Structures are given as structure tokens and as C-alpha cells.
Amino acid sequence: MVMQKFRAAAASNRSTLCIGLDPDLARLPEHLTRDAAGIVQFNQAIIEATSDLVCAYKPNIAFYEALGSAGWQALKQTIASIPGHLPIILDAKRGDIGSTAKAYASAAFDELGVDAITLSPYMGYDSLQPFLERADKTCFILCRTSNPGGDDVQNLALANGEPLFLKIAELVAERWNGNQNCGLVVGATYPSEIATIHQRYPELPLLVPGVGSQGGDIGAVLAAAGEQAIINLSRSVLYASSTSSFAEAARDVAQRFLAPKQALNHP
């Protein structure tokens, strides 16, 4: 069971929070150096302060790539700092033709050794196949994203009157999930759409960014998708403070988001 590691972490920490490790050099606390070493120090402090509050971490590879090979090393050191029982989702939004997708899958699952990845559906099944075939890994496929431009393509009406993103959910649930290792990325800014997706495909875990800085409401997400929602926080936690006590401030924010959730799950 591929989601087992997520479920076990969620159960032991009583949390379905995920923290996005997206270190923006310009926003690092003032006392840290603005380079790969500073990023590693920053991430390690965030991880240490929050590892009992989350069910996963999600580094977005873009922030590491921006620093070239030093950034890649920083990503590997970050991954090595995450306690082994906590799953790691590489936020990469990949998708490319066969031989290239194989190389990406190898980069993520073998070279970096992560447990899960985010993928883009635009190029169709064979662009995702090398990821989907890894039955021991989880693939979160972009469905309805939380950004303002999400509507441009995802909300285009198809011939049957329904928006494209619902067709993507259907493709994932009915055609691409043969190894039962798929989930969807669904933005918290659209809770009614989360509810529709969850009602149709209750078996799919949902990775939900958009709570926190982007303004999505955690209560609405939990009402819409319950235990299937893995709720991601990035900037609101990472940059809670720019002082040397940034890690404690990050922990406070994570706990504040967790409180209504725990109340909801354990009344």
C-alpha cells in the first residue's frame, strides 16, 4: 500500500499537514548566508522544529535548481535531514515523452530518493508512465491549481459542459491509477471543486496547496475532503519570522493551522 508511509506519519503525528520546503534566498532570516549553505541551515531548523507536526515535507525543486549544482547538493542534504519515517514529496510538476520521463523518474526516485512527486498531465499517459510504473512511489497529478491563472486552461468547458480539470481527475482515477499510487493536486482556494472531486473519486488522496499565504480556508478543505486532504503550507510557515527565532515562529504557525484540524478529527 503506497500511501502507507503517509498514513502512518499522519496517524503518529495526528496531522495531515505537509510543509513545503521552498527556500527563497531573498526571504531567508537575516542572520543566515544567502547561499546553498544558508538554505540547508534554514531547512534543517524548520524540519527540526516541525517534524512532530507534519505527515510529509514537500521541497519544490525550482528553488534548488536556481542555485545550480550547489542547490542540488542543498536539496540532497535537506532530504537527508528529514526523519526517515516522514515521506518526501518532490514538487517538480514534471511530464515529458517516454525516454525523458524515464530520466526524470530516475532523478527523483533514485538519485534523490523521494517518496512521491508532482506531475503535469498535459502530455498524457505515456509522459507519466515511468512514474506511474513505480508502484512503491506516489504520483500527485496537477488537477485544479490554486493560482489566479489556474482558470485559463483547467476551467475550460469541454463538450459535455464540464471543466477540463474534472476530466483530468477522471483520467487519473479511471485510467492512470492502475497501481493505486495516484493522487491529485487541488488548490485550497476552490473548496467546492475539492468537494466535487472527492465525491466522485473518494479513493484519491488530494495534495492541497493554497492554505496560508494564498488565502485558502483549512476548515473548508477538511469539510470537503476529510482525511484524504494532505494540506500544504509553505511561505506562511517558512517566513513566519525573519529573526533568529524563525524556527519557533514556524512551529507556532504550523500548530495554529493544526489546532482546528485536530479538533475536527478528535472531537
In the beta sheet, which residues pair with residue 140? 118, 183
- Binding of residue 58 to its own copies (CB under 8 A): no
* Residue 182, number of CB atoms within 10 A of its CB: 25
Q: Name, in order, each residue with C-beta under 8 angstroms of 165's C-beta and a sequence gap of 6 or more.
A: 143, 144, 154, 155, 193, 197
What grid cell was written down for 238? 517558512
Instruction: Give min distance, CB of 139 to its own copies, in A.
Output: 14
Determine the Cα–Cα distance for residues 22 and 37; give it in Å rounded to an integer: 15
Stretch that binds its own copies, among 55-63, 80-88, 192-200, 220-228 (CB under 8 A): 55-63
- Binding of residue 179 to its own copies (CB under 8 A): no
CB 75 within 8 A of CB 105: no
Is 66 or 263 the residue whose CB approaches its own copies more closely?
Answer: 66
Candidate residues 12, 33, 69, 262; the one interacting with its own copies per rule CB under 8 A: 69
- Binding of residue 196 to its own copies (CB under 8 A): no
Among 243, 231, 248, 251, which residue's Cα sits nearest to residue 89? 231
Q: Name, in order, each residue with C-beta under 8 angstroms of 70's C-beta and a sequence gap of 6 or more.
A: 35, 36
- Binding of residue 107 to its own copies (CB under 8 A): yes
Is 45 or 142 the residue whose CB approaches its own copies more closely?
Answer: 142
- Binding of residue 262 to its own copies (CB under 8 A): no
- Binding of residue 212 to its own copies (CB under 8 A): no
- Binding of residue 263 to its own copies (CB under 8 A): no
Q: Name, in order, each residue with C-beta under 8 angstroms of 97's C-beta and a sequence gap of 6 or more.
A: 123, 126, 127
Identify whether 76 is a catalytic site residue. Answer: no
What grid cell was written down for 19? 510543509
Is 5 or 134 the residue whose CB approaches its own copies more closely?
Answer: 134
- Binding of residue 170 to its own copies (CB under 8 A): no
For residue 73, the one-letter residue type is Q
Candidate residues 51, 76, 79, 195; the one interacting with its own copies per rule CB under 8 A: 76
5, 93, 137, 261: the active-site residue: 93
Determine the Cα–Cα distance for residues 196 and 249; give it in Å rounded to an integer: 35
Compose the 122-151 pattern: x for residues touching its own copies by CB under 8 A, - for all others.
xxxxxxxx------------x--xxxxxxx
Determine the Cα–Cα distance for residues 128 and 150; give it in Å rounded to an integer: 21
Residues in contact with its own copies by the rule CB under 8 A: 22, 24, 60, 62-63, 65-70, 72-73, 76, 91, 93-101, 103-104, 106-107, 111-112, 120-129, 142, 145-154, 156-159, 161, 164, 167-168, 171, 235
Q: Report the catalytic residues.
A: 93
